[in-house]
Chains A and B, each alone.
Chain A
Amino acid sequence: MVLRYLRDVVTLKLDTSRCIGCGMCVNVCPHAVFRLESRIVTIADRDACMECGACAKNCPTSALSVQAGVGCLTAIIRGALSGGEPDCDCSSGSSCC
């Protein structure tokens, strides 16, 4: 059973004209959002994006941009209360590695 979050909400953007087809985004994406086709990357599964920011950080030509952050209720509440950005202040082990 595939778990999917909300439709049409993520801030992921790809500027195809800057893509050099290195495939780094395909490598780092934990949710198989990208597909490399004939030396250029396409966003194949946009709604699977969790905005972790790994692709934009590792894109050598800055072809990718995303407003990265944690999809965490507590972090957003904490950020709202302190008047700043969402602040993740826990080392919760959602993944242990």
Chain B
Amino acid sequence: MSSEQTTKSPSNLVVLGSSAANGGDGLSEASCCCGPTRIIKVIQHPLCVCQPWIAGTLEASLRTVPVAKTKLQLRDVLGGWKVRWGIGRMRYQIAPGLYAVGQPNRESPVLVSANYKLSFDCLRKQLGGLHAWILVIDTKGINVWCAAGKGTFGTDEIAGRVNANRLDEIVSHRTLIVPQLGAPGVAAHRAKELCGFRVVYGPTRAKDLPAFMAAGMKATPEMREVDFNLLERIAVIPVELMHWAKWAFLVAACLLMLSGINKGGYSWNKVSSTGLLAGLVFLGTWLAGTVLSPILLPWLPGRAFSLKGLWLGVWLLFGLLAFCPILRENWLSVIGWGLLIPTTTSFVTMGFTGSSTYTSLSGVRREMRRAVPLQLIGIVGGIAAWLAGRFI
């Protein structure tokens, strides 16, 4: 590593600078993973130096700044997978404060990021070979775009963090590169008044940052636009699955238990035969809706998500009717499933509006006003017809 003069490897670093180096807040000794033997003295430790994604530290303006690695390790990748499945997502945070990549100097650019580790990882992995400062602000562990919508990725937080970290002593210029998707929470013209730094909006995707900086901090129209390609849609499927899983299993369990009802009273045999199958058909419908609607989104007819999901459900219904004779044991059962399956996929697909990158609040409200009453009729009517079919 060429930066050996200025960086110390984590293993021989014993004392890290005072709290002021990182804006005065951060993690306490207890949250550090090194164990007590290596740390002689920790004064409001700004971050855990032995975090595996820290390459070392450098000195700038009499302060110690941690240097982040620009290559993700296996544990970073696995950590990203875990949070997409909803495991420990709200705890996937890093300490806010000033970080570095490469060997930045007083002229190096300052990039602003959120303290959600997945956001930070997305950023640093694109900065290989570059020298830059990264100012991580406190968004309570939420990604940039969502935090901007809530206002936690906001003007006051950025300005406060710039001032607390005395960024004016670290760099000679007065420019912050803020991710464009942070703009819903940041007023660029106010930031200048509050901290003296001018906000320049970077590209929407971190991978365009090197090209953006090489072009003199100019973004092309393509860099400004958010799309929602197949891989991005697939990446959010786990989030949707985990979000509705408990409800899907609850409905499946209800179908399972209700299937025992028939004209002869309650039959456990029915539960274990048709009931089990009914539960599985419902879970399969939910799973198919959750997985297929994001994948097929551009090709499903209609603009409203509920309509797209309805089409998916209709196709699924014909497929299931063809291959599962149990669904057509009588005409009421056909009506029941004919309502339940498209309604389920319609609702599940409408739920995907939250993970999509282009739906508006007014639009989803309008869609819900029309779709939700129909979906309620579909669910209640479907279960009623299916139940009535138990008595034939």
B146 and A88 contacting across the interface, CB-CB below 8 Å: yes
Chain B nearest CB from A77 CB (Å) reads 8
Residues A27 and B236 in contact in the complex (CB < 8 Å), given A48-B358, A58-B183: no
Within the complex, what minimum Cβ distance (angstroms) separates A60 from chain B? 5
- B119 cross-chain contacts in A, Cβ below 8 A: 96-97
Task: Check B360 for interface membership: any CB of A closer than 8 A.
Answer: yes
Report yes or no: A9 in contact with B360, Cβ–Cβ below 8 A. Answer: yes
Give which listed residue, B219, B351, B360, contacts A10 with CB less than 8 A: B360
Report whether B186 and A58 are in contact in the complex, using a CB–CB cutoff of 8 Å.
yes
Q: Which secondary structure characterizes the binding site on chain A?
A: loop
A60 to B198, CA, bound (A): 14
Q: A50: shortest Cβ distance to chain B, in Å?
A: 5
Asked whether, in the complex, the Cβ of B225 is within 8 Å of the Cβ of A31, the reply is: yes
Report if A88-B360 is in contact (Cβ < 8 Å); known contacts: A27-B201, A57-B183, A93-B236. Answer: no
Q: Mark B354-390, 1 if CB is under 8 A from A, else 0.
A: 1111111111111110000000000000000000000
Known: A6-B304, A58-B183, A91-B90. A97 touches B205 (CB 8 A): yes
Contacting B at CB under 8 A, from A20-35, are 24, 26-32
A67 to chain B, nearest CB (A): 7
Q: Are B360 and A71 in contact (CB under 8 A)?
A: yes
Given A3-B298, A5-B303, A72-B364: A32 and B353 interface contact (C-beta under 8 Å): no
Task: Let me know if A74 and B298 touch, CB within 8 A.
Answer: no
Interface string of B326-361 (1 = CB under 8 A from A): 000000000000000000000000110111111111
Shortest A65–chain B CB gap in Å is 13
Specify which of A10, A30, A74, A92 is in contact with B363 (CB 8 Å cutoff): A10
Binds A, one of B96-104, B137-145, B158-166, B274-282: B137-145
Q: Which residues of A contact B144 (CB under 8 A)?
A: 95, 97
Cβ-defined contact, A53 with B355, below 8 A: no
Within 8 Å of chain A (Cβ to Cβ): is B232? yes
Whether B150 sits at the interface, judged by CB under 8 Å, is yes
Looking across the interface, which residue of chain A has its beta carbon closest to that of B365?
A76
CB-defined contacts of B143 to chain A, threshold 8 Å:
91, 93, 95-97
Report the minimal beta-carbon distance from A83 to chain B, rounded to whole angstroms. Answer: 16
Which residues of A lie under 8 Å from residue B90 when comparing CB positions?
91
Complex CA distance for A2 and B187, rounded to whole angstroms: 29
**A38 within 8 Å of B by Cβ?**
no
How many Å from the CB of B124 to the closest CB on chain A? 11
- Is there contact, CB below 8 Å, between A73 and B351? yes
Residue of B nearest to A30 (CB): B226
User: Cβ of A5: which chain B residues have Cβ within 8 Å of it?
Assistant: 303, 358-360, 363
Interface residue? A19 (CB, 8 A): no
Q: Is B63 an interface residue (CB 8 A)?
A: no
Cβ contacts under 8 Å, A28 to chain B: 180, 183, 201
**Chain A hits for B360, CB < 8 A:** 5-6, 9-10, 49-51, 69, 71
Please report B residues at the A interface, Cβ cutoff 8 Å. Answer: 80, 83-84, 89-90, 116, 118-119, 122-123, 141-150, 179-181, 183-189, 201, 204-206, 219, 221, 224-226, 228, 232, 235-236, 239, 243, 297-299, 303-304, 350-351, 353-368
A-B contact pairs, 21 of them (CB 8 A): A3-B356, A6-B304, A24-B188, A28-B183, A29-B224, A30-B181, A50-B359, A51-B360, A53-B149, A53-B184, A57-B186, A60-B189, A69-B149, A76-B364, A91-B143, A93-B118, A93-B143, A94-B145, A94-B355, A94-B357, A97-B122
List 7 tightest A-B contacts by C-beta distance, closest first.
A72-B354, A71-B359, A69-B361, A54-B183, A28-B183, A1-B298, A30-B226
